[in-house]
Structure formats: C-alpha cells, structure tokens
A and B are shown apart, each in its own frame.
Chain A
Amino acid sequence: MSEYAENLRSAFAQRRYERIASIVDSTVIKGRGEIFTLTDMLDQVFLNKHLGIPIFLTVLWTMFQFAFAVSEPFVVIIEKIFEMLGAWSGQAISDPHLASFVSLGIFGGLGSVLVFIPPIFGLFLALSVLEDSGYMARAAFVMDRFMYRLGLHGRSFIPLMIGFGCNVPAIMATRSMDSEKDRMITMLINPLISCSARLPVYVLIAGALFGAAYAGTAIFAVYALGIVLAVATALIFRRTLFRGEPSPFVLELPPYAVPDASSSILHMWSRGRMFLKKAGTIIFGMTIIVWFLSTHPWEETSGGQVIAESYIAWIGHAIEPVFQPFGWDWMAAVALLFGLVAKEVVVGTYGVLLGAEEAGLGEALVSQELFTPLTGFAFMAFVLIYVPCVATIGAIAKETNSWRWPAFALVYQTALAFIVSGVIIAAGRLVGLS
C-alpha cells in the first residue's frame, strides 16, 4: 500500500513545502545573512576533527569527578548518621525483635543504600546539564565516526550516555532511532553501561580493598570494562544477529544554551525520584526479606546474633559452590542472588549481614577478610555484568514487545559475567595475585 501511493505522497509533501515557501516569502525578511553566533564559535572547537574526542573525554572525566568528588563529604555525613541511628536504636528499643529490625534491617540495610543519594543525584545533575546545554548532541556527533566503525549508530550514543545514570530511561531513549537493527543492538548492550545503581557496590568494595588512593582508579577501570564489553558485544551482534551497515546518521545540533538551573534541577529530580522510589519500595522490601532470613529462626540464631545459623546462611551455603572458584564466600553468593532484583541490594544485603559491627561496612569487609583485591575486583566486574536488574529486563521486554530478547539479554549477560570474572581471577593468579 505505502509504495503504491509513492507519487502522491511526494506530491503532497512538495505542495506543503511550496505553501510554506510562499508563506515565508511574504512574511519574512531575512537579516544580512547568518551572523557568526557564539554557537558557531563553540562548534568550531567542540566539533573540531582533532580536538573533538579529547574534549569529550575530558568532559566525561569531569562529569564523574563532579559526581563522586563533590558528593564525597555528604556521603560520609549520611553514613555517620545512619551508623549512629543504627547503634542507638539497637540499644534504645527494648523489644529485641523490633530493635534488630530497626537497627539491622532499616538503618543497616536500607541506610547503606540511601548513603548513595549524593553521588547518584550528582551524576543525574551532570547528565542533565550536559543535555540541557546542548553539548550531548555534539558529543554524539563527534563520536559518530568512531561509533560507525564499531558497527554502532551515532544516535546510539545518547542512550548509552544516559545509561550511566540508569539503563531504564536509556533503553526508552532508543525510541528516537529509526533503524530497528541499530535500536536492538543499542538496547541489548545498554545494560553493560554501568548505571548508578551499581556504583554503591563499587564504592563499597573498592573503598574497602584498594584504599583511598586507588579506589577511584579501580572504579574507573570497572566503568571502562563495561564500555569495552559493550563495544565488543555490539561488534559481535552486528556480525551475527543484526547484519548490515548502520543507517546514515542525521542529527540536528541545537544551539548551545546556558542550562537553566531550575530546569536542570527539575530534570535531575525527575530521574533521581526513580531511585528514591526504588529505595522506598523494592530495595526496602528486599532488605526486609534479607533481614528476616538472616535473623531467623530466632532461637537458633539467638535473636539474630549468630548469622551462621540463619536461613540466609543456609541458602548461601547451598549456592556458594557456584562462586567458590572465584574465591567468594556464601555472603557474596546471597548478595548476588538478592541483587538480581536491584543491584543496590548487594550493598543492602551486606549492610544487614555485617551491620552488627560497630565499624563501617567497608572496615567489616576488610576485617573479616571476605575479599582480596583480586577477588574483590572480579566481584565488581561480576556485579557490572551479570543480569540487568528487573526494571531493565522489563524495559527491554516492553520496548521490544517480546520476552525473547529480555531472556536473551539475561542469558548472554550472565554467561559473560562468569567468563569475564573467571578470566580476571585466572589472569590474576597467573601473575601471582591471590
């Protein structure tokens, strides 16, 4: 049908443009040619063949610096508050059941996740500013040639950038891509872009194992690993599942604008709100489950004191063998299991399991010798790659309108997680790390 009316369709389009031309002719007097605007000047630099990519990388690095460095003091403050509240409620509440629930479940579990409000909002704010200023479109333009060589579409770039915030809106953002193949590839690799939900895990593990001096580098390495894997996977998908060339890339570059503070903040809030909502619902619910499982049966665990006797230890020991080759104990196993729902829950689980300690979570990880730097880094990589969270799976299902693709994403990512973590451990042991 649509090919059938080809002539008519173009005739209509042509007549519309003729009408527009005649309307514009009789109402608009053009100024003396285009003036060389500030936008043109900035584009000379930002879109420069040689400077474009280095500038972009600098902007990216600044964005992460901003999100993490600026928020650091706030994280420490919130951490202290929750530690104090946890310790206080453990003593102040007389009913042992309730005391354990409030101190371990709420302040230990949920609190350990809420600590990450500052960096997550910082990241969202940085992304909003980049978008509102008009730079994001330039970055997509600059990266297009590079992306094209990888078999990706220039337009994939913005969804991938948004993925650093959260993969769910990122997957929705692929709607603006008109080639179905390009869109599918972008959706399937998007979960490999490390979203803000995984950040708490990296900060916890890296902070504890690599010390302040190297934690940043370790975290950056995981982010880089995610990007490299995304690129490699895209190349493979382009050669196998979605053969063909990326469709041509046309992008309109909006003029630069000084981002309006209130609209950037509104933008940050509308995204950040999702994190708060998730914390209040899924994460809270999961920590309650984890708390229940780790303090019951109540008698055997002497009121939640002896976790080794709890249901969760039993579950952990049951699945521990799967992760033993990586050097992870049963706590890591249950953390990963509950983290299937949302990756922040990995931290929340540790918060409940180790929350009894007076000292911070990170120190507890070190003092109990749960990880070596090598197994810890492999754990970070595993958290990066394994199974996108439930919301992401749902988003892929909705956008592809099928259950086949989300199932595929689930399988390939889990397999990839085992392979990559295995390679990290093997390589580490080869060079003599433990």
Chain B
Amino acid sequence: MIRAALIGNPNVGKTEIFNRLTGLSQNVGNFPGVTVEKKAGRLVHREQEIEVVDLPGTYSLTAHAVDELVARDYIVLERPDVIVDIVDGTNLERNLYLTMLLLEMDANLVVDLNRWDMVAARGTKIDVEKLSELLGCPVVPTVAITGKGLEDLKNSIVDIAGKKAARGRRAAQNYGNDLEQLISKVEEIIKEIPELTSKYPERWLAIKMLEGDESVMEQARASLSSSQLAKILCIIEAGEAAIK
C-alpha cells in the first residue's frame, strides 16, 4: 500500500483534490495527542492501493501553531511514501514557500499545480518541465473543480512512490555560501548522533537548529551531549553575528 499525504496553503483547492481522489471512502479521526482533525481516505490506482491523508492547510511549518506542527511531525516522523504539495498555479511566489520547506525535509514530493484553468485564463504561461527540473520533483497541472489532470496526478503518485527522493534536487535549495557552510558545520555534528539521524533528515535538523526552532532545539537538548550542544550554539552565535 502506498501512503500519500496532501499538503498545501489554505484555499488552494486541497479539499476538492482530496474528495476527487478518495470519493466517499473517507474517515475522520484525530492526529495523535491533539485535536486537529485527520481525514484519511483510500483509492486504488493501477492495481495499487493508495491511502491518502489530508494534512492541515498551512503557509509554513513552524513550531508555533498546532496545525503546522502536526503537519510537519506527520511528514518527518510518519514518513509517508509520497507528499502531494498542492500549489495555486496563479500564485506561485507565495505557494512555493511551503514547497521549499518540504524539499528541506527530504520529502518524496509531487507538486500539484492546481487552478491550471485560471493560469490559462490569465494568459500566464508556466514551463512545467523546467519547473519540475528546478524543483527536482514531478509537477502535475490540475483543475480540481473539474477533475482535469487527476489521472496524471494518480499516475505520478504511483510512479514516485517506489523511488527515493531525487538527490539532484539539492540544487533547488542552494541558500548561498555563507548559510550552506553553517548548515554543513551543524550537519557534521548531528551526523554523529544516530538517535537524531535515524528519525530526521540531517539537513532539515541543521536548518531548524540554525533558525532556533523550539521543538527541534528541545529534541537536541535531550539527545546531544553538552559539548556537542555547546559547539552548535557556538556555530549559531557566530552565524548570527556574521549575518546582519
């Protein structure tokens, strides 16, 4: 069975996509430990059973808001086979921010370029192939309200489920020499702690630590030795001072 999760900004048509994919076979529960609603459904495509979980709609994946934390924990801890990132094609600039965060998490990503009809109506042209190449993941245009492109989306989900996340996508997230250096320095230390690396992607951990993410820092304090923690804090401090 393929485990897929849907994520996207609010109001991009995520619910319509979810309904289109799963039809009536939905059940509603809660994410463990919190009261955020968890909708899940199933479908069969090309003889493969796919379970789809609808994650809360968010703009970002910080540790501040409950729903963002839920979405992010689900992605890093449950490791679904495929993450479908639903993006409003008429508003790529804003929507791709979440995509960037998902790429950092090493998620096995399919980008669903929704509202494709509106994109055309505005006379905008998007080079889907190039976008796919730059992001390092498949990009599928869809129109959720009519169901156009849904078959392609299902195909992409099945196709990518078996594969590992493409490594080439690192190119999509080159954050500049100064930041990249800081990231590798922190990664260097994290690598030695199997307790963390078995659960989380190293690069993501490094970035989150550098960003001072509360939830990740809490994890770090629990699993790092005091000298390791001191080293990381030292890197953060130096980085903080160097970047104005």
Q: If the complex has contacts A16-B97, A16-B100, are A260 and B145 also in contact, measured as CB distance less than 8 A? A: yes
Residue picked from A3, A175, A257, most chain B C-beta under 10 Å: A175
Would you call B222 an interface residue if the criterion is a C-beta within 8 Å of the partner chain's C-beta atoms? no
Q: Choose, from B78-86, B126-134, B149-157, the stretch at the interface.
A: B126-134
Chain B, residue nearest A399 (CB):
B35
Evaluate whether A4 and B179 lie within 8 angstroms (CB atoms) in the complex, with A21-B93, A27-B131 already known: no
Contact A8/B239 with A172-B35, A254-B11 known, Cβ cut-off 8 Å = yes
Q: Is the CB of A23 within 8 A of B173?
A: no
Q: Is B71 an interface residue (CB 8 A)?
A: no
Interface assignment of A7: CB less than 8 Å from any CB of chain B = yes
The complex places the Cα of A147 from the Cα of B233 at a distance, in Å, of: 45
Closest 5 CB pairs of A and B: A31-B123, A5-B212, A254-B11, A15-B175, A31-B124
Q: List residues of chain A with CB within 8 A of the CB of B131.
A: 23, 27
Residues of chain A from 2 to 50 with CB closer than 8 A to chain B in the complex: 2-9, 11-12, 15-17, 19-21, 23-24, 26-32, 34-35, 37
* A252 lies within 8 A of B175 (CB): no
Taking CB atoms, residues of chain B closer than 8 Å to A31 are 122-125
Asked if A367 is at the interface of the complex by the 8 Å CB criterion, the answer is no
CA distance A19 to B243 in the complex (A): 18
On whether the beta carbons of B97 and A35 are closer than 8 Å, the reply is no
Q: How far is the CA of A398 from the CA of B30 in the complex (A)?
A: 12
- Note all chain B residues with C-beta closer than 8 A to A69: none
Which residue of B is nearest A11, CB measured?
A: B243
What CA separation (Å) do A15 and B174 show in the bound complex?
8
Known: A31-B124, A175-B36. A12 touches B211 (CB 8 A): yes
A430 at the binding interface (Cβ < 8 Å): no
What are some 7 contacts across the A-B interface (CB < 8 A)? A11-B243, A12-B210, A28-B127, A31-B125, A35-B121, A175-B35, A263-B19
Q: A12-B175, A270-B28 are in contact. Are A4 and B236 (CB under 8 A)?
A: yes
Could you tell me if A176 and B214 are in contact, using CB atoms closer than 8 angstroms? Answer: no
Q: What residues of chain A lie closer than 8 Å to B46, measured between beta carbons?
A: none
Measured in the bound complex, the distance between the Cα atoms of B93 and A264 in whole Å is: 30
A34 to B124, CA, bound (A): 9
A-B contact count (CB 8 A): 127
Q: Is B65 an interface residue (CB 8 A)?
A: yes
Taking a contact as CB atoms under 8 Å apart, the answer to whether B24 and A20 are in contact is: no
Closest-CB distance, A88 to chain B (whole angstroms):
36
Q: Which residues from chain A contact B236 at a C-beta distance below 8 Å?
A: 4-5, 8
Chain A interface helix/strand/loop/mixed: helix
Which residue in A24, A26, A260 is a CB contact (below 8 Å) of B96? A24
Assess the B35–A398 pair: CB atoms within 8 A: yes
B67 A175 Cβ-Cβ under 8 A: yes
Interface size grouping (class) on chain A: 35 or more
Whether A1 and B93, one on each chain, are in contact in the complex, defined by CB atoms closer than 8 angstroms, is no
CA distance A254 to B114 in the complex (A): 13
Residues of chain A contacted by B35 (CB below 8 angstroms)? 172, 175, 395, 398-399
B window 185-244: CB within 8 A of A: 207, 210-214, 217, 236, 239-240, 243-244
A27, B10: Cβ atoms closer than 8 Å: no
Task: State A26–B239 Cα separation when bound (angstroms).
Answer: 31
Given contacts A27-B130, A178-B65, A4 and B240 within 8 Å (CB-CB): yes
Give the residues in chain A near B240, CB-CB below 8 Å.
Answer: 4-8
Which residues in window 166-181 of B have CB below 8 A to A?
172-176, 179
Interface of A with B (CB < 8 Å)?
1-9, 11-12, 15-17, 19-21, 23-24, 26-32, 34-35, 37, 137, 172, 175-176, 178, 252, 254-255, 257, 260, 262-263, 266, 270, 395, 398-399
Residues of A within 8 A of B175 (CB): 12, 15-16, 19
Contact flags B5-28 to A (C-beta < 8 A → 1, else 0):
000001100011001000010101
Using known A-B contacts A8-B240, A12-B207, determine if residue A19 contacts B16 with beta carbons closer than 8 Å: no
Q: With A8-B210, A17-B97 given, can you name 20 additional A-B contacts, CB distance below 8 Å?
A: A2-B214, A4-B236, A5-B210, A8-B212, A8-B240, A8-B243, A9-B212, A12-B207, A12-B211, A15-B179, A16-B101, A16-B173, A20-B97, A27-B130, A27-B131, A27-B134, A31-B123, A31-B124, A175-B35, A260-B16
Q: Which of B65, B125, B134 contacts A23 (CB 8 A)?
A: B134
Q: Are B19 and A19 in contact (CB under 8 A)?
A: no
Nearest Cβ in chain A — how far from B221, in angstroms?
A: 10
Q: Closest chain B residue to A263 by CB distance?
A: B19
Residues of A within 8 A of B127 (CB): 26-28
Query: Across the interface, do B179 and A29 meet the contact criterion of CB distance under 8 Å?
Result: no
> Which chain B positions have C-beta within 8 A of A399?
35
A14 to chain B, nearest CB (A): 9
A26 and B130 contact, CB distance less than 8 A: yes
CA distance A223 to B150 in the complex (A): 44
B67, B121, B243, B244 — which one has the most chain A CB atoms within 10 A of its CB?
B243
Q: Contacts A1-B214, A34-B122 known; A24 to B92 CB distance under 8 Å? A: yes
B92, closest chain A residue (CB): A24
Nearest residue, chain A, Cβ from B120: A31
- Determine whether the beta carbon of B125 is less than 8 Å from that of A28: yes
Q: What residue of chain B has the Cβ atom nearest to residue A169's Cβ?
A: B37
Query: What B residues does A5 contact at CB under 8 A?
Result: 210-212, 236, 240
B130 touches A1 (CB 8 A): no
Whole-angstrom distance between the alpha carbons of A12 and B206 in the complex?
12
Closest A residue to B36 by CB, please name it.
Answer: A175
Contacts of A26 in B (CB 8 A): 127, 130, 134
Q: Which residues of B contact A175 (CB under 8 A)?
A: 35-36, 65-67
CA distance A30 to B90 in the complex (A): 10
How far apart are the CA atoms of A21 and B100 in the complex, in Å? 12
Which residues of chain B come closer than 8 Å to A35, judged between CB atoms? Answer: 121-123
Residues of B within 8 A of A30 (CB): 122, 124
Are A252 and B123 interface neighbours, CB within 8 A? no
Please tell me which one of the listed residues A6, A23, A260, A263 contacts residue B135 in the complex, with CB atoms under 8 A apart: A23
In the complex, chain A residues whose CB is within 8 Å of the CB of B217: 1
CA of A21 to CA of B207 in the docked complex: distance in angstroms? 20
A4 to B237, CA, bound (A): 8
Contacts of A34 in B (CB 8 A): 122
